[in-house]
């Protein structure tokens, strides 16, 4: 939020900081930019990997990268040419995500995806584990909450 905050101040705006809308806009803009980079990179044969663990220690990352006030780490992104052809990780079905006209429940699709992900995790060539999509989400809502980083 550094650049837009400073631009608004130059116009004489009475800038109010710390609003949810500002956080959402900045985070969504970052994610959209990164997705465009990912699509472009993959079209050129590069592999990509998002690193959400950046948010585990936001202040340390901010200090390491010398981020100014009003700038916060959303995720890391690695780009490179893969040494091998990695397995493609399954994704939740479009029917579970895309809703037309109104929201519909997706319990059956999620249960099917859990089965798919459990098979994927057990069969992949590295980092095998016995879990599924739903169990991987549990820490996000249970005990692996990430700390708040002051961006003021």
Claim to verify: residue 55 and residue 109 sit in the same structural domain:
no
Last residue of a domain, one of 86, 114, 134: 86
Claim to verify: residue 114 and residue 134 sit in the same structural domain:
yes
Phi, psi torsion values for 99, nearest 5 degrees: -115, 135
Coil, helix or strand at residue 77: strand
CB atoms within 10 A of CB 55: 16
Is 96 exposed, middle or buried, given 0-12, 13-18 or 19+ CB atoms closer than 10 A?
middle
Asked whether residue 151 is assigned to any structural domain, the reply reads no
The structural domain count of the chain equals 2
Looking at the predicted structure, is the pLDDT value of residue 88 above 90? no
Task: Give the side-chain half-sphere CA count within 13 A for 137.
Answer: 6
Looking at the predicted structure, is the pLDDT value of residue 138 above 80? yes
Average pLDDT over residues 81-95: 87
Could you read off the pLDDT of 116-136 as tens digits, one per residue? Answer: 999 999 988 777 888 999 998
Claim to verify: residue 54 and residue 110 sit in the same structural domain:
no
**Average model confidence (pLDDT) across the chain:** 89
Residue 144: the pLDDT is: 61
Asked whether residue 53 is assigned to any structural domain, the reply reads yes
Residue 145: the pLDDT is: 67
Claim to verify: residue 18 and residue 69 sit in the same structural domain:
yes
Claim to verify: residue 51 and residue 15 sit in the same structural domain:
yes
Share of the chain above pLDDT 90, in %: 62
- Specify the CATH number for the domain of residue 53: 3.40.109.10
Distance CA 48, CA 39 (A): 9
Claim to verify: residue 57 and residue 131 sit in the same structural domain:
no
Confidence of residue 148 (pLDDT cuts 50, 70, 90): low
Domain range holding 16?
1-86
Task: Give the side-chain half-sphere CA count within 13 A for 120.
Answer: 15
Residue 150: the pLDDT is: 57
Q: Is the dihedral of CA 60, 61, 66, 70 positive or negative?
A: negative
Confidence of residue 147 (pLDDT cuts 50, 70, 90): low
Is the Cβ–Cβ distance between 44 and 88 less than 8 Å? no
Distance CA 105, CA 41 (A): 35
Claim to verify: residue 104 and residue 44 sit in the same structural domain:
no
Claim to verify: residue 41 and residue 68 sit in the same structural domain:
yes
Claim to verify: residue 68 and residue 123 sit in the same structural domain:
no
Asked whether residue 29 is assigned to any structural domain, the reply reads yes
Could you read off the pLDDT of 21-71 as tens digits, one per residue? Answer: 999 999 999 999 999 999 999 999 999 999 999 998 999 999 999 999 889
Q: Is the dihedral of CA 92, 94, 99, 105 positive or negative?
A: negative
Last residue of a domain, one of 86, 112, 134: 86
């Amino acid at each position: 939020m550094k650049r837009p905050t400073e631009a608004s101040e130059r116009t004489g705006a009475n800038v109010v900081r710390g609003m949810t809308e500002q956080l959402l806009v900045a985070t969504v803009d970052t994610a959209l930019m990164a997705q465009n980079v990912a699509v472009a990179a993959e079209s050129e044969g590069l592999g990509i990997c998002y690193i959400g663990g950046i948010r585990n220690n936001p202040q340390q990352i901010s200090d390491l990268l010398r981020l100014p006030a009003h700038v916060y780490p959303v995720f890391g992104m690695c780009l490179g040419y893969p040494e091998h052809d990695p397995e493609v990780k399954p994704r939740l079905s479009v029917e579970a995500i895309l809703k037309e006209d109104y929201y519909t429940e997706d319990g059956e699709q999620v249960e099917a995806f859990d089965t798919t992900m459990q098979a994927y995790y057990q069969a992949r060539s590295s980092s095998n584990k016995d879990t599924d999509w739903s169990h991987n989400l549990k820490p996000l809502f249970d005990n692996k909450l990430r700390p708040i980083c002051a961006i003021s």
